Chain A
Amino acid sequence: MRAKAGVGALGLALLAILVFLAVSSWSRQPAAARPSVQPITFPHNVHVQTYKIDCQYCHADARRSEYAGLPSVARCMGCHKITAADKPEIKKLAGYAARSEPIPWMRIYKVPEFTYFPHKAHLRAGLSCQTCHGPVETMTTVGARTGPRLANDLLNLVGLRPAPPPVTMGWCIECHRRENAARGMHAPLDCVTCHH
């Protein structure tokens, strides 16, 4: 009995220390959520809503590859050689094109490196981009808050089952289960399908 109490006390002490460490650095925002960090302020809303450009016109690899892909500088310039060529942000773009330099976009979405996520299979299953990425068409600059969160972890720990945050494994699995049950899909639930 005493040993058990000792284990419990040790566990709680560890927990307290780690919670303190976690909370003390919790105030930070994901870097990607700050709009100014992208090298060019790219408004998704203008492209999608005003000009009705399909997501896959620019992210053309999504239907055939693991990666959704970014448009090449040449593809951007295909329109912007003429369209809005006088705007300061477009001039930045033209600068990259003239120097034959890639645009150093800031990465927003990333699954861990031990995870294999193919865009292709999800498009084939009829998913829309917004299912995972949110209403990108309304965003002036895409930001995302993804990944595990302390609040969820703590709630989980005390036995509550909060909804998993977007683009975490629990969230993926829930969707796979839901779709399999509701639409008779064959979304895999096997660990090694994504972790290999």
Chain B
Amino acid sequence: MELHSIKDLLADHPVFKDFDEETLDLLAGCGRNEHFAKGSLIYKEGDEADKVYIIRRGDVAIEIAAPGRPAIVVETLNQGDVAGWSWLVPPYRSSADARAVTEVSAVSLDANCVRGKCDDHPALGYQIFKTWLPHLTKRVRAQRLQLLDLYGAG
């Protein structure tokens, strides 16, 4: 029952919209439906990046903690985004905090499980690469613009 519903939730998400049934079945086996209350921490910088969150509803702030001052929000993720990339890259540690700005519903995918399935089914790994890379590219491009501090002088 749970597998079926996770698969449906994934199929509804823009990142997975082009995945076929078989691939969704593979991924759904690694998934769990999760809810986070407004203000709660989803993951913390330095934590083991053991999950990736497929945001179904709500807003997530990506924060960098700074000593002696409030944490700085550097990016907001919303419905249709994916929170957490560190699970893909050794040493698999989160590089920022993620906090629920509103109530958040997400499907979390167990990183070990997904990596294991990618090893067993290289086609799955390639499909994840092909469909997720454009999302990551968009975010990197946006953050480059942010770095320019465009509005400071304009």
A and B are partners in one complex rather than unrelated chains? no
Which of B's residues lie within 8 Å of A, judged by CB? none
Which of A's residues lie within 8 Å of B, judged by CB? none
